Chains A and B, each alone.
Chain A
């Protein structure tokens, strides 16, 4: 009797702790949200939008690397496919509202993601990375040659237009809140996916693929869906970026960009949803700071060095290390 009483007591305190930690999380989320809403009052909105676009790109990428265990080295292809599609459509058809251009860009990247996935999904590890890289390079040359991308020059002066035909996005603050809403939507979608029954299977595949197979899961299908969602969200990030900067260029399609999103994600930490956001913020800031100072030509080697140090010494990334530190010091 007393034993089971003890147990319910224990369960109650545990439940209490759980609720307390949930409350803390909630407060944290609200504070972050408030800061994001107030941010353009203090920081240049275009800079914030750049961070949010890259953060969305990295969150999309991490659905694969962090939560499925797939390393794609071709994600620039989806960023660029989204960006070029949106840029071309908004430049060519003035009747299109901005969100239509963005939806079309996202859809294009999603379809492209399906094609990539079908070709690459059966390969493991480094072979998977190499095939995605090769496909992305193929696409890069398509973008160089194709008539609708503006070749080496890219697409300039893409009109931001009106959201839903109503809200003028030339207004930088309006544009910022639109980007923020899209980013939060993408982030919450990935959060939902990761915590869904489907996300649980992805987690199983990441941890032990043969075992997942032996438990009756057709792992290729699960991986293809994750890849397609990731590609679509990367495309969405590219579309948003094009609207923000009114520009789509070969930079987005270059393999440097595929490497950069890997760097952002590893630097921030693959184990959490927040990691890639922190990583993207860090990298975009660092690139900006360096480009302002005398070290402007040294951006790539400095990023490279940071990458090496992260991989060797801080495996779990900024967010992972902070989490470890907090845990250690609270217990």
Chain B
């Protein structure tokens, strides 16, 4: 039905630009995210990675440029509509509902497709039919035992796992993960790698990640961003051999690996 380009790519951006009062945070970025890939977006702090995510999900309006999802122009859609179409993001700072239980966190995501969310006259018990699916999702990230725990009381790594399960509850076609391993110890990092690998089955993932060992294990393709512009793109070998990439990271006074420690 659609042309070959859009069959191959889930997401494309054309000349994406974001200016903040004259400061160019994202500069003419053209992304092509291949269906089924785990695609990494890397670059030093302040390169514009989070801003790209904000543009793709319309948390910020682009100054110029186009965003195509499955070949269709979605540049003018609102955030909520984009999420419903199948692009669901996580946040750099852990995004949970802190005073709900783990199960309720996931249920909010499932409820999004229920069509009862404006029914203020209905009993909340009508949501209980979603609990079974919630438990499956919790189980898939190893949180089944914490279903009734209030989220603030979960350890950091578990919060991030819950966040992932909540995102998965939306069954997104394209999942955007902003530094899923940030601030984690190495054990938790290994676990997140496995979770992301599992979560990526049957879908496409675009992830911002500082930890290059994670990138090398998971990602099929890597785009390097520096000062808002695409510096280079390729597989892990190509990118890590590129002297310009090293330059950018050295210029930022740190190698990408070390930046995780910041």
Contacts and interface: CB of A to CB of B under 8 A. Distances in A.
Contacts of B170: 215-216
A229 interface: yes
A193 B104 CA distance: 17
A280 interface: no
Contacts of A198: 117-120, 122
Contact of A217 (B80, B96, B98, B166): B80
Interface string B62-103: 000000000000000011110110001111000111111000
Contact of B120 (A210, A212, A217, A225): A225
Contact of A218 (B78, B89, B96, B121): B78
- A interface SS class: helix
A201 B108 contact: yes
With a 10 A CB-CB cut-off, give which of A192, A197, A198 has the most chain B CB atoms.
A197
A94 interface: no
A213 B97 contact: no
With a 10 A CB-CB cut-off, give which of A198, A201, A210, A214 has the most chain B CB atoms.
A214
Contacts, number: 100
A203 interface: yes
B245 to A, nearest CB: 30
A219 interface: yes
Contact of B126 (A197, A207, A216): A197
Interface string A212-244: 111111110110010001000000000000000
A229 B121 CA distance: 12
Contacts of A208: 95-98
B111 A200 contact: yes
A221 B81 CA distance: 13
27 contacts: A192-B120, A192-B123, A193-B121, A196-B124, A197-B127, A198-B122, A199-B120, A199-B124, A200-B111, A200-B117, A207-B98, A207-B100, A208-B96, A210-B95, A212-B108, A213-B80, A214-B88, A215-B108, A215-B112, A216-B83, A216-B88, A216-B112, A216-B170, A217-B117, A218-B80, A218-B81, A219-B80
Nearest to B169: A215
Given A195-B124, A200-B107, A201-B111, 20 more contacts: A196-B119, A196-B123, A197-B111, A197-B116, A197-B126, A197-B127, A200-B108, A200-B124, A203-B97, A204-B100, A207-B97, A211-B97, A214-B83, A214-B88, A215-B83, A215-B88, A216-B112, A216-B113, A218-B81, A219-B80
Contacts of B116: 197
B122 A196 contact: yes
A225 B118 CA distance: 9
Contacts of A195: 123-124
Contact of B79 (A192, A196, A201, A214): A214
A213 B121 contact: no
A101 to B, nearest CB: 26
A210 B123 contact: no
Interface of A: 192-193, 195-201, 203-204, 207-208, 210-219, 221-222, 225, 229
B59 interface: yes
Nearest to B122: A196
A86 B109 CA distance: 43
Nearest to B130: A197
A221 B120 CA distance: 13
B124 A216 contact: no
Contacts of A203: 97, 100
A143 B118 CA distance: 34
Interface in B237-252: none
Contacts of A210: 59, 91, 95
Contacts of A201: 108, 111, 117
With a 10 A CB-CB cut-off, give which of B79, B97, B119, B123 has the most chain A CB atoms.
B97
A214 B92 CA distance: 13
Contacts of A211: 91, 95-97
With a 10 A CB-CB cut-off, give which of B88, B104, B120, B122 has the most chain A CB atoms.
B120
A76 to B, nearest CB: 25
B57 interface: yes
Nearest to B117: A201
